[in-house]
C-alpha cells in the first residue's frame, strides 16, 4: 500500500483531536495518550491511516488490525452527531510540517478506533468518518496472496479452481491420519515378517545413522550416499553393496526415496579401483555324490533330529528351494503320495501373487517319499498335524512346544530360522568328511547342487528355469551353477599328447 502525503486535496487525516494544537504538541502527546488513556481524556493525538472518503472501511483496511492480533469488530453506523466545531486558525507551513513528520504513517498499538477527522485543506473540523487502527512503525503491508496447493499429483478437470491455502477444498482431521488399533497391529506384524535380509540391512543402516546423528527413515540423498561410501570404505563386494543399498532404498516411504545417482557414480569408480570387489562368493554345489553320504551320516544315530535333517536335505535338493522357502513350508501345503511329494506354493521370490503346485518325483538314491513320510509321521505321534513341517527338536527327542518357542524365538514362532538350515548343512557336510574346491558350503548349496546335476546331464534352459522357479530367460542357473562345474571339469589340454622324451629318442 502506498503512503499518501499531503498536500493532496481531498485527503483527510483521521484523528480524535478535540481542540486546536500544533503539530509538535500533538506529536509529543501521542505517546502519552497511548498509555494514559488519551482517547478518553483528549490529551493525545493518535495518528491514523489516510482515508480519501468517509465510506465504510474496505476489507484491506481491516488487515493491519487483524495482523496485529487484536480483536476488531465493526460497529454499526449510528446517527452522526454534530462534530466538534471549535475553530483553529490556519497557520502557514502546516502542510509541510505534517508532511515532514509523516503523520500519515500509523497509530501507536493499543489506540482505539477514532471517529473524528480534520481537513487538511480547511480550517475547521467538519466531518466524522470511520477509521481503523494500524501499526505505528510502518504502514501495514498487504496480505500475501494465497499459496497454491499444487504438487506433481494434482490433476483437475476443466473449469475447476486450483486449490489454495485460503480454499483448500479438502480438510483432514485426526481420523484421516491415525491408524486404528487393528490396522496398526497388522502393520507391525507385516514389518516383522519382512525378509531377514531387509531387516538386517535396515538395522545396520539405522545403527550407522544413530552414530552419525542423522535421520534414518526417511533418509536424505546425502545420508544415503554417505552410507554407500561407508560400505565401500569397508571393502565389501560390489554385489553386496548393491544388494544392501537396494534394500535400504526400497524400505523408504513411497515418494520419499533418495536419489541414487551420486551413489551409483561412486560405485562405478569403486568398481574400477577395486577389481577384487567384483568377485562373487558362490556356494559350493552339493550334488548327489555329496548329498547321499550326508543323509546317511545324519540317520546313523536313528534319532528324531536325524530324521528331520535327512528329510530336510532330501527335500531341499529336490525342491531346489531357498532356505526361507524350506522353513516356511506348512504341513497343510504338502501331500506325500507313493511315488511323489506335491507342494503347494502361494508365491515365491520370482512369482509374487502366483500360486504354484509342484510335483517332486521320487528317486531310489534320494528316497524323498520315505524320508518325508517318516518325519511327518513322527510329528503326528507328537500331536502335530498342522503348522511348520520342519520344527525344533529338543535334546530328549521331543518337539519344542509353542510356549517354549515363544520364549526363545519370538519372531519366527514355531518356524525355524533360515540360518538353522545353513548350520545343519555345514554340520553334516563336515561330519561326512567331505571337502570342497574352495567355495563355501551353505544352505544354498542344496539349490546349487540340484541345478548343477540337471545342467550337467542335459537339462534344457526351460527345464532348469521350471525346476528352480527362476524367471523366464534367466541366465543365473547356467552361468552360476552349470558353467562353473563344466569349466572345472573341462580340460582342453587333454587333447595334447603327453611328452615322452624316450619315445621321441627311439623315433
The three-state secondary structure class of 175 is helix
User: 177 or 213: whose pLDDT is higher?
Assistant: 213
Give 230-252 pLDDT, tens digit per residue: 999 998 888 899 999 999 999 99
User: 376 or 492: whose pLDDT is higher?
Assistant: 376
Q: Which grid coordinates belong to 337?
A: 503320495
User: 499 or 351: whose pLDDT is higher?
Assistant: 499
- Give the pLDDT band of residue 376 (cuts 50, 70, 90): very high
Lowest-confidence range among 262-271, 360-369, 493-502? Answer: 493-502
User: 35 or 234: whose pLDDT is higher?
Assistant: 234
**Average pLDDT over every residue of 142-149:** 74
* Residue 94: C-alpha distances to residues 48, 105, 398 (Å): 17, 17, 109
Lowest-confidence range among 48-52, 75-79, 217-221, 495-499? Answer: 48-52
Domain ranges of the chain: 12-128, 182-278, 288-489
The three-state secondary structure class of 336 is strand
* Residue 407: C-alpha distances to residues 41, 211, 400 (Å): 83, 31, 11
What integer pLDDT is reported at residue 228 of this predicted model? 96
**Average pLDDT over every residue of 398-406:** 86
CA distance 42 to 261: 72
What integer pLDDT is reported at residue 44 of this predicted model? 42
CA distance 261 to 244: 16
Percent of the chain with pLDDT over 70: 69
Nearest one of 469, 421, 467, 397 to 313, comparing CA atoms: 421
Strand 12-15 relative to strand 340-345: parallel, antiparallel, unpaired? unpaired
Determine phi and psi for 254, rounding to 5 degrees. Answer: -60, 135
Determine phi and psi for 255, rounding to 5 degrees. Answer: 85, -5
CATH of 182-278, one of 3.40.50.1580, 3.30.360.10, 3.90.650.10, 1.10.150.130: 1.10.150.130
**Average pLDDT over every residue of 382-407:** 89
CA distance 27 to 6: 17
* Residue 292: C-alpha distances to residues 107, 287, 309, 332 (Å): 99, 9, 12, 28
What integer pLDDT is reported at residue 279 of this predicted model? 67
Nearest one of 425, 450, 470, 440 to 323, comparing CA atoms: 425
Give 44-62 pLDDT, tens digit per residue: 444 444 444 444 444 444 4
CA distance 95 to 442: 98
Is it the case that residue 104 has pLDDT exceeding 80? no
Give 434-487 pLDDT, tens digit per residue: 999 888 999 999 998 998 888 888 888 788 888 888 877 777 777 777 777 677
Q: Specify which of 33-42, 161-170, 477-486 reaches the highest per-range mean pLDDT.
A: 161-170
Instruction: Please spell the DSSP secondary structure of 29-84, one letter per residue.
Output: HHHHHHHHTHHHHS--------BSS-SPPPHHHHHHHHHTT----PPPPPPPPPPP
Between helix 238-250 and helix 196-212 the angle, nearest 10°, is 90
Peptide bond into 218 cis (omega under 30): yes
C-beta pairs of 472-480 under 8 Å, 24+ apart in sequence = 477/451, 480/282, 480/448
From the CB of residue 355, how many other CB atoms can be counted at a distance below 10 Å? Answer: 10
| Gyration radius of the chain over CA positions | 43
From the CB of residue 51, how many other CB atoms can be counted at a distance below 10 Å? Answer: 19
Does domain 288-489 correspond to CATH entry 1.10.443.10? Answer: yes
Is it the case that residue 380 has pLDDT exceeding 90? yes
Percent of the chain with pLDDT over 90: 35
The three-state secondary structure class of 484 is helix
- Give the pLDDT band of residue 14 (cuts 50, 70, 90): very low
What integer pLDDT is reported at residue 214 of this predicted model? 94
Mean pLDDT for the chain overall: 76
Whether residue 128 contacts residue 117, with contact meaning beta carbons closer than 8 Å, is answered with yes
Amino acid at each position: 500500500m502506498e503512503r499518501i502525503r499531503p498536500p493532496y486535496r481531498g485527503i483527510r487525516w483521521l484523528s480524535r483531536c478535540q481542540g486546536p494544537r500544533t503539530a509538535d504538541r500533538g506529536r509529543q502527546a501521542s505517546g502519552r495518550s497511548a498509555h494514559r488513556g488519551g482517547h478518553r481524556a483528549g490529551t493525545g493525538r493518535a495518528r491514523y491511516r489516510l482515508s480519501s472518503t468517509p465510506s465504510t472501511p474496505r476489507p484491506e483496511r481491516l488487515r493491519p488490525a487483524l495482523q496485529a492480533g487484536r480483536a476488531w469488530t465493526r460497529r454499526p453506523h449510528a446517527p452522526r452527531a454534530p462534530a466538534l466545531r471549535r475553530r483553529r486558525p490556519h497557520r502557514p507551513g502546516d502542510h509541510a510540517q505534517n508532511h515532514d513528520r509523516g503523520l500519515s504513517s500509523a497509530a501507536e498499538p493499543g489506540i482505539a478506533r477514532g471517529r473524528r477527522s480534520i481537513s487538511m485543506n480547511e480550517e475547521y473540523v467538519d466531518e466524522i468518518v470511520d477509521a481503523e487502527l494500524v501499526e505505528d512503525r510502518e504502514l501495514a503491508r498487504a496480505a500475501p496472496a494465497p499459496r497454491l496447493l499444487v504438487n506433481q499429483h494434482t490433476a483437475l478437470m476443466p473449469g475447476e479452481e486450483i486449490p489454495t491455502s485460503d480454499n483448500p477444498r479438502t480438510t483432514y482431521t485426526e481420523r484421516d491420519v491415525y491408524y486404528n488399533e487393528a490396522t496398526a497391529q497388522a502393520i507391525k506384524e507385516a514389518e516383522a515378517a519382512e525378509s531377514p535380509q531387509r531387516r538386517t540391512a535396515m538395522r545396520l543402516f539405522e545403527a550407522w545413522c544413530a552414530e552419525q546423528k542423522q535421520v534414518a527413515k526417511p533418509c536424505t540423498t546425502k545420508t544415503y550416499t554417505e552410507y554407500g561410501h561407508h560400505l565401500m570404505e569397508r571393502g565389501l563386494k560390489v554385489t553386496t553393496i548393491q544388494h544392501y543399498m537396494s534394500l535400504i532404498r526400497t524400505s523408504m516411504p513411497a515418494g520419499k526415496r533418495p536419489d541414487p545417482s551420486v551413489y551409483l557414480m561412486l560405485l562405478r569408480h569403486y568398481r574400477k579401483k577395486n577389481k577384487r570387489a567384483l568377485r562373487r562368493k558362490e556356494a559350493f554345489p552339493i550334488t548327489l555324490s555329496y548329498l547321499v553320504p550326508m543323509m546317511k551320516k545324519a540317520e546313523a544315530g536313528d534319532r528324531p533330529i536325524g530324521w528331520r535333517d535327512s528329510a530336510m536335505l532330501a527335500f531341499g535338493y529336490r525342491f531346489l528351494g531357498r532356505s526361507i522357502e524350506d522353513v516356511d513350508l506348512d504341513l497343510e501345503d504338502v501331500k506325500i503320495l507313493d511315488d511323489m511329494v506335491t507342494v503347494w506354493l502361494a508365491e515365491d521370490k520370482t512369482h509374487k501373487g502366483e500360486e504354484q503346485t509342484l510335483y517332486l518325483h521320487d528317486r531310489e538314491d534320494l528316497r524323498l517319499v520315505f524320508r518325508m513320510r517318516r518325519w511327518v509321521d513322527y510329528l503326528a505321534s507328537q500331536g502335530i498335524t498342522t503348522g511348520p513341517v520342519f520344527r525344533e527338536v529338543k535334546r530328549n527327542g521331543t518337539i519344542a512346544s509353542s510356549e517354549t518357542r515363544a520364549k526363545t524365538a519370538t519372531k519366527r514362532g514355531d518356524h525355524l530360522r533360515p540360518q538353522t538350515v545353513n548350520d545343519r548343512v555345514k554340520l553334516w557336510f563336515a561330519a561326512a568328511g567331505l571337502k570342497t574346491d574352495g567355495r563355501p558350503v551353505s544352505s544354498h548349496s542344496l539349490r546349487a547342487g540340484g541345478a548343477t546335476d540337471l545342467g550337467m546331464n542335459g537339462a534344457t534352459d526351460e527345464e532348469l528355469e521350471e525346476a528352480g522357479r527362476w524367471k523366464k530367460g534367466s541366465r543365473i542357473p547356467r552361468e552360476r551353477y552349470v558353467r562353473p562345474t563344466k569349466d572345472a571339469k573341462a580340460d582342453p589340454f587333454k587333447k595334447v599328447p603327453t611328452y615322452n622324451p624316450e619315445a621321441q629318442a627311439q623315433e
